[in-house]
Amino acid sequence: MVLCNLHLISLKDGVSLRSFLGQLRRHGIKPVVQARAVRWMILPTHTSIGHLLGRNVRWDLFLVLEETDSIPQEASKDVLAVWSAACGVSAKALSGYASANKPLLNPAPGSVAPPENHMLAPSPTSQNLEVSPELREWIGALPARLREHPVSMLNLLAFHAGKIDQYKRYGAAFMAGAGSRHGGKVKIVGKMVAGGHAQEDGWEEIAFVHYPSVQHFAAMAASKDYQEVNHQYRLGALKDTFILCVMEVDDDGNVVGLNPDRGKL
């Protein structure tokens, strides 16, 4: 296992992603993951809400840094707020992340099946990883190039006592069934360790999951077979969770695989 540091960053007004990431590069820091925060898909209900939600902070950037890297003082001056975590990640997953991630963010033409039609009636809220009318409206309002572009979902997880094995059954069912069928692919998993806010607040694990598009994510959440697994294993195992939708960016702050003029969020 390798220790990684995770950071959600809110930049001061007028500071661009390009400027901030440029400062990291000048100090020899190359993040494992650098991604623009897009939208909360599921909000935390009580864990870390003071840090994540209570100050009405707009999160701009999600970073995964190797243990030896930290945000340099020069770059810290441009940070309005930061929420950090430390987790142990498989060395194999970490070393192979870039090569495995590249074809996910730049899929070959025709290699990704289109999203399925929503099968279930909308739910009043998306908090239980279901599809609400509000979520459908938001997806429909996105420019087509963003609506159809790969996304990653940052999941933080806290479990009820004795329910971790139940959640593992959810993970196995997810990858064997609806999750895999809709293009879901777990890119990074890790266990929280001492350091940062996350373990202190009670978070236990992280999962960073790829989807071919936000439409694929919604189609999965609206499928009957996914909801059977969700209700059987996932919901009862979780004491709290959040899911943040992000899009990975290049060193200029542009969404990877998009024309900069058409990739603005």
pLDDT digits (tens, 9 = 90+) for 157-206: 999 999 999 999 999 999 999 999 999 999 999 999 987 667 678 999 99
Nearest to 240 by CA among 158, 161, 184, 175: 158
**CATH code linked to domain 39-54+94-248:** 3.30.70.100
Q: Closest by alpha carbon to 95, among 192, 211, 1?
A: 1
DSSP letters along 209-226, please? EEES-HHHHHHHHT-HHH
The confidence score (pLDDT) of residue 23 equals 97
User: Can you give the residue ranges of every domain in the chain?
Assistant: 39-54+94-248
- Alpha-carbon dihedral 157, 161, 164, 167, rounded to 10 degrees: -70
For residue 15, what is the DSSP state?
-
Q: Does residue 262 carry a pLDDT above 60?
A: no
What does the pLDDT look like over 98-148, one tens digit per residue?
999 999 999 999 999 999 988 899 999 999 999 999 999 999 999 999 999
232 and 174 in contact (C-beta within 8 Å)? no
CB 149 within 8 A of CB 213: yes
Distance (Å, whole) CA 41 – CA 43: 7
Nearest of 242, 205, 213, 227 to residue 42 by alpha carbon:
242
Residues paired with 196 in a beta bridge: 85
Q: Where are the alpha helices (DSSP H) in the chain?
A: 17-26, 49-52, 73-76, 91-95, 97-105, 133-141, 144-147, 164-176, 178-181, 198-201, 214-221, 224-229, 235-237
Interval 210-230 mean pLDDT: 97
What SS3 class is residue 153?
strand
The pLDDT confidence band at residue 264, using thresholds 50, 70 and 90, is low
pLDDT at 254: 96
Query: What is the chain's Cα-based Rg?
Result: 18
Mean pLDDT of the chain: 94
pLDDT of residue 263: 46
What six digits make up the tokens of 238? 């979780």
* pLDDT of res. 201: 83
Grade residue 260 by pLDDT with cuts at 50, 70 and 90.
Answer: low
pLDDT the model gives residue 55:
83
Taking a C-beta distance cutoff of 8 angstroms, is the pair 57, 80 a contact? yes
Phi and psi at 131, nearest 5°, equal: -105, 120
